[in-house]
């Protein structure tokens, strides 16, 4: 993580992303567990194979979580340096007023 990125942005990325990914992972884990229990009941896999697949599944989702957090932090960090991406909340009239004042300053 970048030390120049504000801690609030990092923590926000962690909290939101962890919640989002955990929810998706839980749903996917339940589906996988159901499929594996059907295969186990049909004697197509052993309990060791089922446990290994569940462990691999959990590790894959943990890796997705870390990758997504890293991606969001990187986007936030790049956004903070990319001035054209920053949008102004000023109205067009306010922008014209500022531009006229700036142009008057530069005439000297």
| Cβ atoms of residues 72 and 17 within 8 Å | yes
Predicted pLDDT at 45? 94
Alpha carbon distance 92, 98 (integer Å): 10
- CA angle 37/68/35 to nearest 5° reads 10
Mean pLDDT by 10 residues, the chain (108 residues): 56 77 95 96 95 96 90 71 62 82 70
Q: Rounded CA gap, 38 and 40, in Å?
A: 5
CA distances from 34 to 30, 41, 57, 98 (A): 6, 11, 13, 63
Do residues 68 and 17 touch, judged by C-beta distance below 8 A?
yes
pLDDT value at residue 1: 43
């Amino acid at each position: 993580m970048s030390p120049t990125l504000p801690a609030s942005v990092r923590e926000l990325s962690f909290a939101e992303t962890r919640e989002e990914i955990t929810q998706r992972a839980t749903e996917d884990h339940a589906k996988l567990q159901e499929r594996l229990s059907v295969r186990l009941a049909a004697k197509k896999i052993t309990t060791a194979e089922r446990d290994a697949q569940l462990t691999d599944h959990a590790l894959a989702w943990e890796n997705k979580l870390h990758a997504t957090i890293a991606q969001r932090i990187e986007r936030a960090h790049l956004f903070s340096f990319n001035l054209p991406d920053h949008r102004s909340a000023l109205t067009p009239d306010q922008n014209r007023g500022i531009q006229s004042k700036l142009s008057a300053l530069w005439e000297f």
